[in-house]
A and B are shown apart, each in its own frame.
Chain A
Amino acid sequence: AQSVTQPDIHITVSEGASLELRCNYSYGATPYLFWYVQSPGQGLQLLLKYFSGDTLVQGIKGFEAEFKRSQSSFNLRKPSVHWSDAAEYFCAVPGGSGTYKYIFGTGTRLKVLA
């Protein structure tokens, strides 16, 4: 069955430091993958998505993610974190071939130190 794993429940970084959030997936075919961000008390907003082609994708707010098929990973990165990036981040993947029942990881909560 398809699945998504986000190994880190909480991550704390200092403002200005680089960030990498991990996402590992299990999927039978070539997946398409998403990263969403959720600010406190808000709904989820799309950061970026990968469908095919270039394995390095750019998103909003200065985020990027790299698809690595050999490692079944789609890690999210940002070179320099801002205090406003404090939020919860979710990786998502379709539930299986021919279905659009998207599966979400358990999320990584990011704390940014001033």
Chain B
Amino acid sequence: NAGVTQTPKFQVLKTGQSMTLQCAQDMNHNSMYWYRQDPGMGLRLIYYSASEGTTDKGEVPNGYNVSRLNKREFSLRLESAAPSQTSVYFCAARTSGRGELFFGEGSRLTVL
């Protein structure tokens, strides 16, 4: 059982390039999340999707777009990457109600 799968695991971009981080879950959970992790700052929420077809901004949404393609998939797009977006990105899915988050293994992005 794969749980939450993120691709790619590593990516290097040049400033101004675009890319999409993919996330898929096989747990049939309604809610999905994108967080970024930076040293000393913990995890900060970028976007949240409560269900298919809905998305909501988190704490740090600027420079990102998301698509909840279907119940399984939630992608994060950087239209014009900036060095400040160098980070480790985590996708997560959540069980219903007061459930915990299940995380993917992360995608390390470096923007030069």
Chain A residues close to B by CB (< 8 Å): 6, 9, 32, 34, 36, 41-46, 49, 51, 90, 92, 95, 100-107
- Specify which of A9, A51, A90 is in contact with B43 (CB 8 Å cutoff): A90
Rounded to whole angstroms, the CA-CA distance of A9 and B33 in the bound complex is: 25
Which A residues are in CB contact (< 8 Å) with B31? 100
A-B contact count (CB 8 A): 53
Cβ 8 A contact of A104, one of B42, B100, B102, B105: B42
Q: Which B residues lie at the A interface, using CB under 8 A? A: 4, 31, 33, 35, 40-45, 48, 50, 56, 58, 90, 92, 94, 98, 100-106
If A44-B90, A51-B98 touch, whether A104 touches B43 (CB-CB below 8 Å) is yes
Are A105 and B58 CB-contacts (below 8 A) given A42-B105, A44-B103? no
